[in-house]
Structure formats: structure tokens, C-alpha cells
Amino acid sequence: MKIVILLGAPGSGKGTVAARLVAADATLKHVSSGDLLRDAVKRQTPAGVEAEGFMKRGELVPDTIIAQMIGDLMKGIQGECTLLLDGFPRTVVQAEILDKTIAGCGAELSCAVLLDVADEVLVERIAGRRGCPKCGAGYHIKNLPPKVEGICDVCGAELITRKDDNPETVKNRLAVYKSQTMPLIDFYKGRGQLREVAGVGAIDEIVTRVKQALA
Ligand SMILES: [Zn+2]
């Protein structure tokens, strides 16, 4: 089994790219750490039960428990498979824990793919998002505008911006991402495992570049 780590800032399009890759290749599996955590809690696996305890106390789930969930997942997979890890690791400490989990499962870390997108583009992408509070439809003022400005095409409700998507909040989220992830990028670069891919342009072009980086 092979492991590929997906790295990219909020708004870099990691999730979209991963979905496209998985749809085109049955040996690829997209593993978002958030989904993994929710699933383990729901199924009440030993790691899930432990994680739930931390969550109920309002505490962060320790890195080792997330790594255990990834290990459990790897052990449950038969045959040829490449896991695209999304959301873990985010820090060098997590990367070191993950290394041990991967070795313990007899798997191999292929590379870390970084979707590179300039800050101005990230801010524009995220700050342009609008959502319908009534039916949940999503829009973007530039890339996917509603027919009438500020109004939901589907149900006619007034569109809103999520608090997290305000330009100021976005800048803070990017600053947090950078302070955590820059050392992680250097960590993989130092081991010759970093593949940098330009995350701009048409989605098809981005997906093609990521495929080339994985080949
Ligand atoms: Zn609506």
C-alpha cells in the first residue's frame, strides 16, 4: 500500500482534486481526517471511543489517536491501494507519528503533493463564496454567481457569507496554515518527497498536473 499526502491551504482545491482523482482510478482512496474521525466515532472503534471522550470534554483529539485510525484503516484494506491523506499530517510532529504508523503497517510513503496557490487567489476564492441559509445551495460571486445578485436561484432566499469566509478571517486562517504547514513542507522537501503543483487554472489542468506528479 502507498500513501500520498495532500497539502494545500484552505481554498487550494484539495478536496475537489482528490474527488476527481478517485473518480478516475479505483485503486485510489481519498481519506479526509475529519471524515475518518467521524466514522470511527460512529462505528465506536477503540480509537473512536477514545476520541469521543476527548471531544465530549471539549479537548482536541490527540495526534496519536488520529494516527491509530489511519493505521486501522490501512490494516483493513486488501490489495493494491493508494491512500490520499487529506488533513493529516498538518504539523511535523504529526508527520513523525504518521511515519511510524506507515512503517508499522508495512506501507510506503510515496510523496507529499502541495497544491500551490497564491494568497490573493485563495482570499478571492474563499471570500467570494456565498451560501443559501434556507436550502444550502452554494455560490461564488465570480466563478458561480446566482442569476440575481445576492439571491438564491433555487429558493429565492437572501444569500449569506459564512463567518469563516470573511476576508479578515480568511487572512487569519491562512496565517495559521502557514505557521503550521511551512515546517511540514520543508520536512518533506528535505527528504526529497515533496511534489509542488500549480493549483491555478482549469480544474482539468490541475488534475492532470497532480497525476503527472504522482506518476
Ligand atoms: Zn436557497
Tell me, yes or no, whether 29 lies in a domain. yes
Residue 78 pLDDT greater than 90, yes or no: no
Identified catalytic residue from 2, 29, 90, 189: 90
For position 103, what pLDDT does the model report?
A: 94
Tell me, yes or no, whether 144 lies in a domain. no
Residue % of the chain over a pLDDT of 70 = 100
For position 166, what pLDDT does the model report?
A: 87
Alpha helix segments (H runs only) across 105-166: 119-127
Identified catalytic residue from 130, 173, 195, 209: 173
14 is catalytic: yes
Distance 173 CA to ligand 1 centre (A): 27
Residue 165 pLDDT greater than 90, yes or no: no
Distance 87 CA to ligand 1 centre (A): 30
Tell me, yes or no, whether 153 lies in a domain. no
Task: Please state the domain count of the chain.
Answer: 1
Give the pLDDT band of residue 168 (cuts 50, 70, 90).
confident
178 is catalytic: no
4 DSSP β-pair partners: 84, 111
- Grid coordinates representing 36? 475518518
Residue 182 CA, chain-centre distance (Å), reads 16
Distance 8 CA to ligand 1 centre (A): 30
162 is catalytic: yes
Tell me, yes or no, whether 114 lies in a domain. yes
2 is catalytic: no
Identified catalytic residue from 38, 43, 75, 162: 162
pLDDT tens-digit profile of 80-105? 899 999 999 999 999 999 999 999 99
Tell me, yes or no, whether 49 lies in a domain. yes
pLDDT tens-digit profile of 36-49? 999 999 999 999 99
| Phi-psi category of residue 153: left, alpha or beta, with phi > 0 → left and psi -120 to 50 → alpha | alpha
Q: Please choose, from the candidates 125, 114, 81, 88, the residue with its C-alpha nearest in 3D space to the C-alpha of residue 210.
A: 114
For position 147, what pLDDT does the model report?
A: 97
Element at 104 (helix H, strand E) = helix 92-104
Residue 14 maps to which CATH number? 3.40.50.300
pLDDT tens-digit profile of 189-199? 999 999 999 99
Distance 156 CA to ligand 1 centre (A): 6
Distance 147 CA to ligand 1 centre (A): 12
Return the number of other C-beta atoms located less than 10 Å from residue 197's C-beta: 23
Distance 161 CA to ligand 1 centre (A): 13
Distance 128 CA to ligand 1 centre (A): 17
Which residues lie at CB < 5 A from ion ligand 1? 132, 134-135, 137, 152, 154-155, 157
List the domain range (segments joined by +) for residue 189. 2-118+173-214
Tell me, yes or no, whether 132 lies in a domain. no
Tell me, yes or no, whether 35 lies in a domain. yes
Tell me, yes or no, whether 149 lies in a domain. no
90 is catalytic: yes
Residue 164 pLDDT greater than 90, yes or no: no
Residues 6+ apart with CB under 8 A from 108: 1, 2, 3, 102
> Which of the two residues, 79 and 48, has the higher pLDDT score?
48
pLDDT tens-digit profile of 3-24? 999 999 988 989 889 999 999 9
